Every structure is written in structure tokens, then in C-alpha cells.
Structure 1
């Protein structure tokens, strides 16, 4: 296949789906990783695509390395998958535990499930998420501890106050929502939030990351932690096979959650 033909195929993929991954293009085109990256670089030079970590996107796609949408915008994304992930994570919640829930839309769904299930009482929940705290407000026998801190666009409390609070706490498990996930671990576009997320991981005996399949290949500005610090990763069954293979080897336990017909779309 000529270079021009390869680039036409790549461009067609980006235009059809909004993005194309290097790993997928290597298989589809039958060429090396380096060849695909050179083709993407040439298309980017011509202004036809924009290079991102792991592939290419349409040129008008906003950068996500520092882009931080608000909570309401993110809440509607992949709703069925987030519900399935939260339902799977709920299996690790037991009465008498002290838990930490990070800010985020998937952890918010988990918090609503915890609030609705009286069999899980009593619980103590530490959170830096304002929406998470609201979801748990008024639930009998659930003590909610807010970290304090500076508010982000996604309604997370971050910064030195939050970090100092978490440094003195110890919980049984942290449930961590993330902005992006790649071969090196979870990321976030907010530097201060990355530091607070790291504090959430450090204060826990075990950490579960909650990430729907669209997070794979999305890379935020700041890395949160490595896979060696994550005990369980819960994703939905839409995750690509190559990603499943990588993640199954990287974490102790990979859980694939499947939406049910009644889950919100």
C-alpha cells in the first residue's frame, strides 16, 4: 500500500469516528507502529488531523490534556457504563468500613447506590467530592467526612488543605474516578487534583479505580499513580481487547462490568 493510500485510510477513520488509534491502524494497515506515526505526523503537518498520545483526532477536537469539563457535562457521558461500573464496585463495600470516594461522576453514581442500600450500614465515607457528599447526605448511619480544599470545575476539593486532611486518615479502600487511562496509569488534567488523588491512594489499604472504556487512551496533564498502586480496576465491557490484555497484566484484579437493559443511556 502506498503512503498516500495509507494516509487516506487514516483520514477516513478519523473523519468517520472522530479519532484513530495507532495500535488499531497498525493492524488494519499491516505496517509498523513507526510507519503509522509518520503518516499521522504528515497528516497533522497538513492540518488534516491533530496528533494526540496514541493516535490522531479530528483537528477541531479540543485538547483534553488540560481540558476539564464541568460535572454536569460529564454526568451524561457513558451513563449506562458508569452505572454498571458502580454496581460492580459496590460488591467491595461492606458494613463497618471506612471508605474514601474521590470526586467524579462514576464515584457519584457509586455514592447514590451506597445511600440507597441500608444493608451496607454503618459506613464512614471520606470524600473530596462535593457531589459525592451531597449524594450521601441524610443517609442513616453513614458518616461523611469532607476534606475541605479549593473547588475545581468538576466539583472536587483539592490543594494543600485536602492533602493535609488525607495525610492523617486511614481507610479500608479508596474508590478513585479518573479523567484518563493509558499504559502508564490514570491521569487528570488538573495538577492539584492529581496531588489530592495521590493522597487518596496513599491513605487507603486498597485502591479501586473506576473508569469507563472511553477513558482508555485519554491522557491528562498529570499522572496520578502507577498500576502497581492499584489493586482493582473496574471498567465496562466496551474496553478493546488489546487494552484488556495490557490492564489484566498490570493490576491484581480487572473487573469487566456489563450494563443491563434497565441502565440509563
Structure 2
């Protein structure tokens, strides 16, 4: 194998798993550790991955970088709209659902204003504002309280304590990053704590994540991939991600973004039966 071919294969491994080890790569490709280190140095210099002690991780922002809500809200708009369209079909009238903080969950909130009889629990200020602004008397919105983060999430002991006393049908979880090794992650330690409390309170977990979340690692893991009953992403999700997620999550749904940012969907057999 030529060096360029080996480096391309290494980059595929990093993007698929989120990180690689020098010793594992040396064994896989039948070359010395020094050869792999030179490959990683070349890829690092090109900005394609980040070298770490003993290996490399996917290139990207720091694991503690946390863009503000408005900064994130302008990214991948068609994909987020399509994901929200798909996710809204999973909600039944009268259900008790939770929406975590995030721009994709905020998009979902705009679609849930049309669902009658909902009780919505959230630690997201934008989500609460969207649902309150709709003024539906048949919907109940529960805001957890807590300390505000740059992503307009409410976190801390007050938020966690409120959630731990609840029993929810469904949680829609927005995440910062996804890798096979780290699972679903966030760059905020306190936000990870409230997210884990929401996961524990819900019967079913639906993760909402566009394709750019694959290969990104936040400092704190929320839950492993297998904890998700459903993952809704978009059709730009790369094949390695589809393979890993298809094997580990309960159901992988791919939303197709259109120019208008809306998705079309054929109902599942479960939906047509209800």
C-alpha cells in the first residue's frame, strides 16, 4: 500500500471512530509505529486530524468549545428542518415529552405547537418561548429552572432535581457530537448531567443530530450509542457513520432535506397501525 493510500485509510478510520491509536494502526497496516506517526504528522499538518499522545482524533473545535444558540441556529438549516419534520411524526396527542436544549430541538418545538394535549418538559429557554408563544391552552410547558449556559440551556442542581421527579413518554435529545467510542457528547459538563437525568426519566430516547455531529467529540459523554431507541439524522451522514449507527441504535431514520428545508416521509407500519 502506498503512503497516500494508507493515509486515506487512516483518515477514514478517524472519521468513523472519532479517534485511533498508533499501535492499532501499525498492526492493521503491517508497518512500524514510526511509519504511522509520520502518516499522522502529515495528516495533522494538512489540518485533517489532530495528533494526541499515542494516536489521533478527528479535527475540529476543542471538546469544551460551546457556540452560542444564535451562532448554531444558522448552521445546517435545511437539515435541521428536515430532521424536525421527521421527529414530529413520532409524537402523539396527549403525550408527556421532553426536549433538551439545542437548535434542532427548537426546530422541533415549532412543529409541536400543532399537537393537541401535550405536556412538554424542557431545560431550553428558546423551546419554552416557542411553545409559550403559541398560546395553546391545551398544552402544558414545564421549564426546569437552573443556571443558563451559552447554548441557552438551564443546568445545575435545580434543573436536575426537577427532572428526577418526572416520568416521561419520550425524550428528544440534541447533541454536540457523536462517535463510536464516546457515544453522544456535549462540551458542557453541567449540560451532560441534566441530559442524563432527562434520559433516565423517559421511556424512549430519540436523538436528533445532523450529519456534521458525526466525528465531533465533546468533553462529556451523555449516553452510549446503544441507549438511543431512534436516531434521526439527514442523508448527508457518511457511510461509515450509517454502518456504525445502524448497528448500535434501535432505529436510524434519514431525513431528506429539500430546498425549502422540509422533509417528506412515508409513515412506518407502527404509525399506520395507530
TM-score (norm 1): 0.82
Matched, 1:132 2:130: no
Cα deviation code 1:167-194 (max 9, x no counterpart): 0001100000000001031000100000
Q: In the aligned structure 2, how far is the partner of 1:52 from the partner of 1:161?
A: 39
TM-fit CA distance, 1:42: 2.4
What is aligned with 1:13? none
TM-fit CA distance, 1:55: 4.7
SS at match of 1:148: coil
RMSD between aligned residues: 2.6
What is aligned with 2:112? 114
Q: In the aligned structure 2, how far is the partner of 1:51 from the partner of 1:186?
A: 20
| Cα pair 2:205 2:227 within 8 Å, conserved | yes
Which residues of structure 2 form unaligned runs of 5+? 17-23, 30-34, 263-274
| Cα pair 1:22 1:33 within 8 Å, conserved | no
Matched, 1:144 2:105: no
Q: In the aligned structure 2, how far is the partner of 1:142 from the partner of 1:192?
A: 28
| Cα pair 1:22 1:37 within 8 Å, conserved | no
SS at match of 2:206: strand
TM-score (norm 2): 0.80
| Cα pair 1:95 1:122 within 8 Å, conserved | yes
Q: In the aligned structure 2, how far is the partner of 1:24 from the partner of 1:70?
A: 25
Q: In the aligned structure 1, how far is the partner of 2:214 from the partner of 2:15?
A: 13
| Cα pair 1:6 1:39 within 8 Å, conserved | no
Cα deviation code 1:174-231 (max 9, x no counterpart): 0000000010310001000001000010000101000000000000000001123211
Match of 2:76 among 67, 75, 78: 78
What is aligned with 2:246? 248
Matched, 1:169 2:166: yes
Structure 2 matches for 1:1-265, cutoff 5 A?
3=3, 21-22=12-13, 33-34=25-26, 38-43=37-42, 49=47, 51=50, 55-57=57-59, 63-115=61-113, 117=114, 120-139=115-134, 140=136, 141-184=138-181, 185-263=183-261
| Cα pair 1:106 1:210 within 8 Å, conserved | yes
Q: In the aligned structure 1, how far is the partner of 2:254 from the partner of 2:77?
A: 16
Q: In the aligned structure 2, how far is the partner of 1:206 from the partner of 1:124?
A: 15
Runs of 4+ in 1 over 2 A off after TM superposition: 20-25, 32-45, 47-50, 52-57
Q: In the aligned structure 2, how far is the partner of 1:161 from the partner of 1:82?
A: 30
Q: In the aligned structure 1, how far is the partner of 2:68 from the partner of 2:195?
A: 18
SS at match of 2:133: coil
| Cα pair 1:22 1:55 within 8 Å, conserved | no
Q: In the aligned structure 1, how far is the partner of 2:15 from the partner of 2:190?
A: 33
SS at match of 1:262: coil
The 1:96/1:37 distance shift into structure 2, 3 A limit, reads farther
Cα deviation code 1:41-75 (max 9, x no counterpart): 32378x55451686553xxx6x3300000000000
